[in-house]
Amino acid sequence: MGNSFRLMSTRRTVQSISANVAALTGAVASILLPAGCRLCDQLLASASRLPICDACLSGFAPVPPGSCDLCGQPYAFDPEFPKDRACCRDCELHRFGFNLARSYGLYDGDLVRAIILLKREEIEPLGRWFARQLAAIVRREGERLAADLIVPVPLHRQRVRERGFNQVDAFGRPLSRLLHLPYKPVLLVRSKARPEKHLLRNEERWEAVRGAFAMQKGGRVDNLRILLLDDVMTTGATLDACSRALLEAGARSVVGLTIARAGQPVSSFVDSR
């Protein structure tokens, strides 16, 4: 018992020293090798390894007030729907397989550029920053976003070979540590690649993901609450397809969580998959 306690104490000490050394190294590097913000090129003033300045971070547009209580769609972009309703037309028609969806910000301006940056490069500090914002949403929503494990929306194997990684892992793994939840990146697989064209209309998005996702052989989600993670929610088609695969496999519930929510006409957005 005593030896185990001393071993745990030693490990914590080593981890603390390592963290301090990393922080000091980052501070020294920022002084000797000053870098510019990857979004606006302004010189970064802090010692953080995050490659985006505070001004750009604070400029990310939040999801505007007045949104669907279920899928989070801002009513400002659904002018035909009465504002005295709790949920949007899609949710009234039970179009989605997931129970609830929330997003950190609106897919616009600098937030778009930050997400594209995360897609192109494995920038761990940026992933950890987004993870902290998403963790705050989960804690604020409480039981409504309660989950037993986190599942990222998977990429098709061809896209993984091209990119070398799934960008969702960059914020999914740190989010799992913040929420103390298991992270299951191979639980779902994408068997159907997205179309080559970059801009998809609403109906094309739904058709592109129809039957595209399945459970990994041997995967089990019986009676589990799933937190389904992606970078961008546009029409909700991808989250819906993944949710249905999980529910058919026995999941008790699925809630979606994304960095951004597209609120402008869909044709103006590049498909996130």
CATH number at residue 201: 3.40.50.2020
* Separation of alpha carbons 55 and 205, rounded Å: 34
Nearest C-alpha neighbor of 200 from the set 120, 271, 146, 94:
271
3-state SS class at 188: strand
The beta-strand segments (E) located in 124-249 are: 149-152, 188-190, 213-215, 225-233
Q: What is the pLDDT of residue 109?
A: 93
Please check whether residue 38 lies inside any domain of the structure: no
105 neighbors 63 (Cβ within 8 angstroms): yes
Residue 235 pLDDT exceeds 70: yes
Number of helices (H), then strands (E), belonging to the chain: the values are 9, 6
The two structure tokens encoding residue 87: 């949920």
Q: What is the pLDDT of residue 47?
A: 63
241 neighbors 214 (Cβ within 8 angstroms): no
Between 49-53, 82-86, 151-155, the lowest mean confidence (pLDDT) is in 82-86
**For the packed helices 167-179 and 124-141, what is the interaxial angle rounded to 10 degrees?**
50
- How many residues appear in the chain? 273
Residue with the larger pLDDT of the pair 59 and 20: 59
pLDDT tens, 33-46?
Answer: 568 999 998 888 77
Please check whether residue 17 lies inside any domain of the structure: no
Q: What is the pLDDT of residue 191?
A: 85
Q: Return the DSSP state at 96.
A: -
pLDDT-above-70 percentage for the chain: 78
100: phi then psi, degrees, rounded to nearest 5:
-160, 150
Q: What is the pLDDT of residue 157?
A: 87
Handedness of CA 143, 251, 74, 84 (dihedral sign): negative
* Separation of alpha carbons 136 and 177, rounded Å: 13
150 neighbors 179 (Cβ within 8 angstroms): yes
Please check whether residue 51 lies inside any domain of the structure: no
* Separation of alpha carbons 260 and 193, rounded Å: 22
Mean model confidence pLDDT for the chain? 83
Cα end-to-end span (Å), the chain: 50
Helix (H) or strand (E) holding 254: strand 253-261
Please check whether residue 2 lies inside any domain of the structure: no
The domain tally of the chain equals 1
Q: What is the pLDDT of residue 51?
A: 93
* Domain boundaries, position 184: 57-63+96-268
Put simply, whether the predicted model's pTM sits higher than 0.85 gets the answer no
pLDDT tens, 119-143?
Answer: 999 899 999 999 999 999 999 999 9
Other CB atoms closer than 10 Å to residue 70's CB: what's the count?
19
Handedness of CA 267, 243, 150, 62 (dihedral sign): positive
- Give me the residue label for tokens 């990146």: 185
Please check whether residue 32 lies inside any domain of the structure: no
Q: What is the DSSP string of 109-143?
A: HHHHHHHHHHHHS--HHHHHHHHHHHHHHHHHHGG
Other CB atoms closer than 10 Å to residue 31's CB: what's the count?
9
pLDDT tens, 52-81?
Answer: 999 999 999 998 878 889 999 887 666 666
